[in-house]
Amino acid sequence: MITVLRIGHRPARDKRITTHVALTARAFGASSIVIDLHDSQLENTVRSVADRFGGDFQVSSGVNWRRYMDESIAVKVHLTMYGIPVDRCIDSIREDVARKGNLVIAVGAEKVPGDIYEMVDYNVSVTNQPHSEVAALAIFLDRYNRGTELSARFEGKMEVIPKARGKEIRNRIGNSITTKKPKRKD
Ligand code: SAM
């Protein structure tokens, strides 16, 4: 089980990016996201995607992240530009998770509280350049899962059928519910 812990969510400012953290977590193989500040609108948005596109992704908000970390017996990773490069520690993280069973991945918003660095087993960087929690999470999960998550099936009510051009979404019984052909250019 992989849980993403979102620290420092500010409902007024971070709605969009925290939603992207959650959807990235789901799409790249995590099973849940825990968010520190309560945000029912964000929870509903994420649940709505999971309901339509499938899987068993769980979202909860309003969780005290320090208590969550203290009480968790999972392997704890914090994604930070100051950490050890992901390619140098990912094998060791996988081995630890094989022993302990679960993984928690903490990502920040603006500035993370300093004590997080001491609370985790691994501070991990995805390059040592500043960028985004969404990018860092996607790359970390892809390295952790060795790319297998890219072909995961979610068995949802709606399934996108890959196409070179145009858009097709099918429902569970295989009927096309949205088909958009590309416009002709002549
Ligand atoms: N300067 C901020 C700080 O002190 O943490 C960085 C904030 S950044 C916009 C938000 C989050 O993105 C960070 O808390 C971290 O989780 C993630 N992040 C940004 N760059 C990263 C990198 N190079 N490697 C890993 N995670 C990164």
- Whether residues 114 and 136 fall in one domain: yes
- pLDDT level of residue 111 (50, 70, 90 thresholds): confident
Q: What is the pLDDT of residue 172?
A: 79
Q: Whole-prediction pTM value?
A: 0.93
Distance 111 CA to ligand 1 centre (A): 8
Q: What is the pLDDT of residue 173?
A: 78
Distance 107 CA to ligand 1 centre (A): 7
- Whether residues 74 and 132 fall in one domain: yes
Distance CA 121, CA 151 (A): 29
Closest-lying ligand 1 atom to the alpha carbon of residue 112? 5
pLDDT digits (tens, 9 = 90+) for 119-164: 999 999 999 999 999 999 999 999 999 999 999 999 889 999 999 9
Give the count of domains, the chain: 2
- Whether residues 92 and 121 fall in one domain: yes
| Cβ-contact 39, 13 below 8 angstroms | no
> What's the chain's Rg over C-alpha atoms?
18
pLDDT digits (tens, 9 = 90+) for 134-144: 999 999 999 99
- Whether residues 151 and 161 fall in one domain: no
Report the share of the chain in percent with pLDDT over 90: 85
Distance 98 CA to ligand 1 centre (A): 27
Does an H or E element contain 105, and which?
strand 103-107
- Whether residues 163 and 91 fall in one domain: no
Domain residues for the domain of 161 are 157-186
- Whether residues 33 and 112 fall in one domain: yes
- Whether residues 68 and 97 fall in one domain: yes
In order of 13, 118, 123, 150, the CA distances from 146 in angstroms are 33, 27, 20, 9
With a Cβ cut-off of 6 Å, ligand 1 is lined by 79-81, 107-112, 125-127, 129-133, 136
